Copies of this chain bind each other. A is one copy, B any other.
Amino acid sequence: VAAQRSTGRPRRATIIDVARLSGVSKSTVSNVVHGAAPVHPDTRAQVLRAIQELGYRPNALARDLKRQRSAMVGVVVGDLSNPFYAELTKLIEQHTASAGYATILCAMNGPTDAERDKIALLLEQQVAGILTMFFGGDAAALDEVTATGVPIVGVSVDDARFDCVVADDALGARLAVRHLAELGHTRIAYVPSHATEASTNAARLEGWKQALRRSRLRRGPIVTLADEPGEDRLVPLAQAMQDVQAPTAYFAGNDITALQVIDRLESAGIAVPRDASVVGFDDIGLSSLGRLSLTTLRQPVADIAALGVSRLLKRVDGDRGAGGRAKQTRLQPELIVRATTASAPG
């Protein structure tokens, strides 16, 4: 049986094979591969030839095991279906890859996924650090990470317990509400998005409340798009338009949600922005399409990714940061006014 197997997968050449073929020791091979110590040109050539001939490829598992540190980082993402997170993931991978790290992708698909187990898996893989775009709030999961001393930084996640690089969500929300208020809207609803990371959603909600207060506006309703499939709380609310209570503007937790809000509204005969205004958050690529023209808050996604990765790698390299305290960085979002917002009707 063993013999049969061996037909299938030829044993990969090891450093020993190379050493034997080129008539030197393991250490010398290692030295020509990594250039850690000087090697005689002739020897080097000899070794290089052997490497070529055998198709030798160093085994990262063995290297990392020996070195006691791996060249892998874990990247945790909540929902890749949301183009914002997909884009962020893409940018993160670019940065980690060019820094020589492999990226282990870890998706938190819905609340069914045990955050702790997923994180544990990452830790078992001996990742050098973790970049997380999602934090469900499982304190135990976080404790495990800190206990092992693996650095973790939140990217588009805001939590006081670890380093974070995020857009200033509260500010963004205030910008959105102010824009709406300036257009004469007085009944502004908030539509949270369950797809967005919790802390992010919370910050946007908070900013919405703040701005409402500052503009001396009564707090509009908080209306979820759909807790259960088929359910619709938005349209009934909006259709009470004659009613003085009905919102004339909706601030959505993110662009996807905003787009869905528009969809619901318009299929119920409520035109955007004529009858109601809608503001999103993120500025995903498609939002700028003429047919959508979503007014939204653009996140500095490139900066978030770059800063997040560089901060993590600094930590990985032993930088304990300022006094070991978690550092939050909030980058400014930018209000992009397009065509889903207009003066309040009536």
Q: Residues of A with Cβ closer than 8 Å to B?
A: 5, 8-10, 12, 55, 57-62, 64-65, 70, 72, 75, 79-81, 83, 86-87, 89-90, 93-94, 97, 102-107, 109, 118, 120-126, 144, 147-149, 259-260, 262-263, 266-267, 285-286, 289-292, 318, 320
Contact = CB atoms under 8 A, between A and B. Distances in A.
A98 to B, nearest CB: 10
Nearest to A88: B80
A12 B64 contact: no
Given A93-B107, A107-B97, A8 B318 contact: yes
Contacts of A64: 61
Contact of A148 (B12, B149, B266): B12
Contacts of A5: 318
B267 A290 contact: yes
A57 B102 contact: no
A10 B120 CA distance: 17
B289 A263 contact: yes
A306 to B, nearest CB: 14
Contacts of A260: 289
Contact of A59 (B8, B65, B94, B267): B65
B292 A59 contact: no
B125 A61 contact: yes
A80 B70 contact: no
Nearest to A143: B55
Nearest to A320: B8
A290 B318 contact: no
A320 B8 CA distance: 8
Given A60-B124, A103-B105, 20 more contacts: A9-B149, A58-B124, A61-B65, A61-B125, A61-B126, A80-B87, A81-B285, A86-B86, A94-B109, A97-B107, A102-B104, A102-B125, A103-B104, A103-B106, A259-B289, A263-B290, A267-B290, A286-B286, A291-B291, A292-B292
